[in-house]
């Protein structure tokens, strides 16, 4: 199956609450007489996302329909910009940048009026194999401000930090969800995290229009980890 990937910016659609949890896909064994239990972990844990959005009005409803109609239920996938509200701010990282467009040196923009954007990224310094739960990064790129609980992604695979040791080029970042793919010094972590997801069900994202032309939308997402994922 060749899936098309549709972009979904949760900030543009006024996301108001987030819940991203790892489904370890464990299977319980038979209960023991001692009160102990057994759990067999699946070999493809995945993220489950629940996102609520603010009330949509006419233009936003139409935009939302345009996104959802491209997904074809569970057939295509979404590249979801997580937009974690607890992501470190530029000020916390010691930068004067505020997140707006960056224009050319003479103040001009591109022909469509847009400018450059600065990513919240840090380079990976050493190769790490699939299944690793720590990588070495240059924390100076983030003002050494990444810490436990922050989301980040690598090539659209989502992770969450569980701790960090050291600073600068001595920073060893620990995280949950073991590496899905091997990484090299050509890769980087991105705190503007993204995750490739499918809808949990074909009818997800329904936008029933209510009186006064408003709609309230919720979305349940399942990370795409199966065949065909690069």
- The span from the first CA to the last CA of the chain, in angstroms, equals 13
Asked whether residue 176 falls in the same domain as residue 197, the answer is: no
Residue 101 in domain = no
pLDDT of residue 228: 85
Asked whether residue 183 falls in the same domain as residue 197, the answer is: no
Residue 110 in domain = no
Asked whether residue 155 falls in the same domain as residue 178, the answer is: yes
Give 12's contacts (C-beta < 8 A, 6+ positions apart).
none
Asked whether residue 179 falls in the same domain as residue 206, the answer is: no
Number of domains in the chain: 2
Mean pLDDT over each residue of the chain, to the nearest integer: 87
Instruction: Work out the average pLDDT over 74-86.
Output: 94
- Angle of CA points 38, 43, 44, to nearest 5°: 120
Q: What is the pLDDT of residues 86-125, one digit of tens each?
A: 888 778 777 766 554 434 455 454 444 443 445 789 999 9
Residue 54 in domain = yes
> How many whole angstroms separate alpha carbon 189 and alpha carbon 154?
5
Q: 134 is written with which tokens?
A: 């720590």
Residue 67 in domain = yes
Burial of 197 (0-12, 13-18, 19+ CB in 10 A): buried
Residue 95 in domain = no
Long-range contacts, stretch 115-123, CB < 8 angstroms, 24+ apart: 119/190, 119/192, 120/87, 120/88, 120/93, 120/190, 120/191, 120/192, 121/188, 121/189, 121/190, 121/191, 121/192, 122/146, 122/188, 122/189, 123/185, 123/187, 123/188
Question: Could you tell me the residue range of the domain that residue 213 belongs to?
Answer: 1-25+42-84+193-230
- Angle of CA points 76, 79, 83, to nearest 5°: 145
Residue 97 in domain = no
Asked whether residue 141 falls in the same domain as residue 185, the answer is: yes
Instruction: Work out the average pLDDT over 5-33.
Output: 86
DSSP symbols for 48-81: EEEEEEPPB-HHHHHHHHHHHHHHTTTTSEEEEE
Q: Are 144 and 167 in contact (CB under 8 A)?
A: yes
Asked whether residue 168 falls in the same domain as residue 223, the answer is: no
Q: Are 172 and 205 in contact (CB under 8 A)?
A: no
pLDDT of residue 31: 65
pLDDT of residue 91: 80
Q: Give this prediction's pTM.
A: 0.85
User: In the sheet that 5-9 helps form, which strands lie side by side, from edge to edge?
Assistant: 5-9, 77-81, 194-199, 218-223, 46-53, 15-23
Residue 100 in domain = no
Asked whether residue 139 falls in the same domain as residue 200, the answer is: no
CATH of the domain at 126: 2.40.30.290
Asked whether residue 47 falls in the same domain as residue 64, the answer is: yes
pLDDT band at 172 (very low <50, low <70, confident <90, very high): very high
CATH of the domain at 12: 3.30.200.190
Asked whether residue 170 falls in the same domain as residue 202, the answer is: no
Asked whether residue 175 falls in the same domain as residue 217, the answer is: no
Asked whether residue 186 falls in the same domain as residue 204, the answer is: no
> How many whole angstroms separate alpha carbon 150 and alpha carbon 162?
8
According to DSSP, residue 140 is labeled G
Residue 220 in domain = yes
Instruction: Work out the average pLDDT over 67-77.
Output: 96
Asked whether residue 172 falls in the same domain as residue 202, the answer is: no
């Amino acid at each position: 199956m060749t899936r098309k990937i549709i972009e979904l910016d949760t900030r543009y659609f006024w996301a108001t609450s987030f819940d991203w949890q790892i489904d370890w896909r464990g299977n319980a064994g038979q209960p023991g007489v001692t009160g102990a239990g057994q759990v067999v972990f699946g070999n493809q844990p995945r993220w489950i996302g629940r996102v609520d959005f603010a009330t949509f009005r006419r233009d936003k409803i139409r935009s939302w329909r345009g996104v959802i109609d491209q997904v074809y239920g569970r057939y295509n996938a979404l590249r979801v910009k997580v937009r974690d509200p607890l992501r470190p701010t530029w000020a916390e990282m010691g930068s004067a940048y505020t997140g707006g467009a960056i224009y050319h040196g003479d103040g001009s923009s591109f022909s469509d009026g847009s400018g450059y954007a600065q990513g919240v990224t840090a380079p990976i310094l050493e190769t790490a194999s699939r299944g690793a739960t720590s990588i070495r990064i240059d924390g100076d790129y983030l003002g050494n401000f990444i810490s436990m609980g922050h989301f980040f992604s690598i090539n659209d695979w989502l992770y969450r930090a569980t701790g960090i040791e050291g600073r600068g080029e001595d920073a060893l970042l620990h995280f949950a969800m073991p590496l899905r793919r091997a990484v090299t010094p050509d890769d980087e972590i991105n705190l503007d995290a993204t995750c490739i997801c499918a809808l949990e069900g074909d009818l997800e994202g329904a936008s029933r229009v209510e009186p006064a032309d408003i709609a309230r939308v919720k979305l349940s997402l399942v990370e795409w980890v199966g065949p065909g994922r690069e």
